[in-house]
Amino acid sequence: MTTPYEILKNENISHNYFKIKLNIPHFPTPKPGQFYQIRCSTMTDPLLRRPFSLHRLLRDGNSTHIEILYRVAGKGTEWLSRRQRGEFLDILGPFGNGFIVDEGTNPILIVARGIGIAPLYSVGEEIRKNDKKRKIFILMGARLKERTFYESECEKVGEVFLYTDDGSKGFHGRAPDLLVHLLEEKQLPEKFSLYACGPAQMLKELADLSVRFGFDGQVALEEHMGCGFGACLSCVCPLRPNYIKRNIHWGKPALQWSEDRTQVYSLICKDGPIYDIREVNWNEWNA
Amino acid sequence: MNGMPDLSVQIGRLILKNPVMPAAGTFGYGHEYEQFFDLNRLGAAIVKTITLAPRVGNFPHRSVEVPSGFLASIGLQNVGIERFIQEKLPYFDTIETPLIVSLGGQSIEEYVKLAERLNVQKRVDALELNISCPNVKKGGMHFGSDPQVTRELVTRVRDVTDKTMIVKLSPMVTDIRIFAEISQQCGAEAVSLINGLAGMSIEIKTRRSRLGRNATGGLTGPAIKPFALYLVRQVYNTVDIPVIGLGGISSAEDAIEFLIAGASAIQIGTFNFVDPTITLKVIDGIEAYLTQNRIGTLSELIGSLLEGGIGGSDA
């Protein structure tokens, strides 16, 4: 058995996308949608830990491994990309609520943009482990062809529909456009559960579509975090006061109401990063 | 010297078993850290600033990182005094560490009401008056940057509280010594410094503040340490009451610098987010330093800065 948080592999899979494989302790077992806080420095710059969502949970004999899929976007992730097999990382977590993985027979619709596929893949894989027949559709893409990645891996868990904003590969348009197209062309079943991760604007448009077409969904939010464990109160997400939809599997929320109860903030690190697609106050979040 | 060095320190009427405590606003309501360590080891615990009414805080997208610093605009989000007393305070009955409550208001009357309400809470050992929050529109830093207002506020809170009273000073003033002296004259038993500096960060692609609608934030973290250390030394040379030093401490060595500069105790803020067990490492590090240097009691170290060049030193 290897020591916790040892790096087993750290590879560049495409452009600035990397995948790191780590040995982790047996407990607690992370759930899809949860995240780890990784120290990406041994100095004070970069200073804060960086949050990374669980991409895959793997069991190998007596060892438990995880994979994290990440995009090199700054000093912290650049440091992480240079770490090598055999080195150790300073990690806290897993933190946050996981996705509620629907145990029914509903088909699953995954909608991702860019690195947003990282936590969603684990939802698909989790379902696939127990149910080989369940329909899983994956809408994924990026701004242009050169930015798309990971389609062949995703094809192992579901049917992939690719999009690019400029039409250089797959459907010409963005994820919400592709979803409308597929729904209108009846290429998707009438009833499905949506799991989405990507830029705020995409999630907001998906929330509008969830009302228009009447489907349920969960989203994973991304935000700068100070601590990751509910102490700094940096990562607030505004909710709709009249439509708070907390799952019983999620912990007691740390909601902060305004005195007149017209405003309510949740903590993404504690109450999220997974939210019901309609409980988020998207106008306030995107303002 | 025999045995372990004595790390205890007196702040007002409080005896702390060691000089290390977290800084207000970085330690939640305490219980957030119990998953990481035994809070009984702290010299004191401190909870985030409490206001009279609950506060939802500032707009989302409240923090960004800058080189060796944390720029954040939380806006004193808190549950308000009544919920604090009912829901948060009982947790501290499960630990024995002295408890300091930070309080903030939009008017002097609010500070007075809060102090009155907290004065009857047995579990509260000391009050820290936050007159220096850089991220609220009304009040906040205003109370700590106008000498007359500071004088009136500290005097009036002193009138209604029997608890040890600490005043947390703002670095956003021309001469911090004036505010330290006023605090002492008006009955403060200690001053803590520094609170965060106001700061900005701009995303040049969009020409917008990286804190979005909040526009500005409070700068904390290692980036502000030299400035904090300088102000601690200035205040130490000015007042007779203990100085609690904070600003960018991320190691025992940093903490020892503050003690040598004149801080009787230190607080650790932003670095709790990076390493939630940093307070314990700093306690152990200070103890090891005293042992190695054959210093029997912490008080011998406080303010022991030597003058002169370093040419002859073999360090």
- Of all residues in chain A, the percent with pLDDT exceeding 70 is 99
Q: How far apart are CA A131 and CA A106, in angstroms?
A: 12
Best to test chain B binding among A37, A50, A92, A233 (most B CBs inside 10 Å): A233
Residue in chain B closest to A41 (alpha carbons) equals: B274
In this complex, the residue of A49, A223, A284 whose CB is nearest that of residue B274 is A49
Q: Residue A3: its pLDDT value, please? A: 59
Model confidence at A251: pLDDT above 80: no
Q: Residue A62: its pLDDT value, please? A: 86
In this complex, the residue of A224, A264, A287 whose CB is nearest that of residue B63 is A224
The ipTM is 0.94
- Of all residues in chain A, the percent with pLDDT exceeding 90 is 85
Model confidence at A41: pLDDT above 90: yes
Residue in chain A closest to B220 (alpha carbons) equals: A47
Q: What is the mean pLDDT of residues A253-272?
A: 92
Torsion sign (Cα): B282, B288, B289, B295? positive
Mean pLDDT, all residues of chain A:
94
Residue A103 binned pLDDT confidence (cut-offs 50, 70, 90)? confident
Model confidence at A105: pLDDT above 60: yes
The angle subtended at Cα A145 by Cα A143 and Cα A150, nearest 5°, is 95
Q: Residue B138: its pLDDT value, please? A: 67
Local structure of A219: helix, strand or coil: strand
Q: How far apart are CA A272 and CA A222, in angstroms?
A: 10
B264-286 pLDDT per residue, tens? 999 999 999 999 999 999 999 99
φ, ψ for residue A96, nearest 5 deg = 85, 175
Residue A253 binned pLDDT confidence (cut-offs 50, 70, 90)? confident
Torsion sign (Cα): B257, B263, B265, B266? negative
Model confidence at B51: pLDDT above 60: yes
Q: How many angstroms away from the CA of A47 is the closest CA of chain B?
A: 6
CB contact under 8 A, A44 and B72: no
In this complex, the residue of B60, B74, B79 whose CB is nearest that of residue A238 is B60
B205-230 pLDDT per residue, tens? 999 999 999 999 999 999 999 999 99
CA distances for B110 relative to A250, B51, B185, angstroms = 36, 8, 22
B164-177 pLDDT per residue, tens? 999 999 999 999 99
- Angle between helix axes B252-261 and B278-292 (nearest 10 degrees) is 60
Model confidence at B315: pLDDT above 60: no
Q: Residue A104: its pLDDT value, please? A: 80
Q: What is the mean pLDDT of residues B42-68?
A: 96
Taken in order of first residue, the domains within chain A and their CATH numbers are 7-95 (2.40.30.10), 108-222 (3.40.50.80)
A19 is written with which tokens?
């995948």
Q: How far apart are CA B282 and CA B16, in angstroms?
A: 15
Q: How many angstroms away from the CA of A287 is the closest CA of chain B?
A: 8
Q: B225-263: string of b/e by CB count within 10 Å (b at 16+)?
A: beebbebbbbbbebbebbbbbbbbbbbbebbbbbbbbbb
Residue in chain B closest to A227 (alpha carbons) equals: B273
B60-118 pLDDT per residue, tens? 999 999 999 999 999 999 999 999 999 999 999 999 999 999 999 999 999 999 999 99
Fold of domain B9-57+73-196+220-300: TIM Barrel (3.20.20)
φ, ψ for residue B248, nearest 5 deg = 80, 15
Residue A1 binned pLDDT confidence (cut-offs 50, 70, 90)? very low
Model confidence at A26: pLDDT above 70: yes
Q: What is the mean pLDDT of residues A95-104?
A: 89
Residue in chain A closest to B217 (alpha carbons) equals: A234
More confident site: B118 or A26: B118
- Residue B160's beta-bridge partner residues? none
- Torsion angle, CA of A95/A101/A103/A104, rounded to 10 degrees? 150
Model confidence at B300: pLDDT above 50: yes
Residue B157 binned pLDDT confidence (cut-offs 50, 70, 90)? very high
Residue A2 binned pLDDT confidence (cut-offs 50, 70, 90)? very low
Numbered residues of chain B with Cβ closer than 8 Å to any chain A Cβ: 25-28, 32-33, 35, 48, 53-57, 59-65, 67-70, 72, 74, 77-80, 212-213, 221-222, 250, 270, 272-274, 276
CB contact under 8 A, A237 and B60: yes
Mean pLDDT, all residues of chain B:
95
Q: How many angstroms away from the CA of B94 is the closest CA of chain A?
A: 19
Q: Which residues of B are catalytic?
A: 133
Model confidence at B256: pLDDT above 80: yes
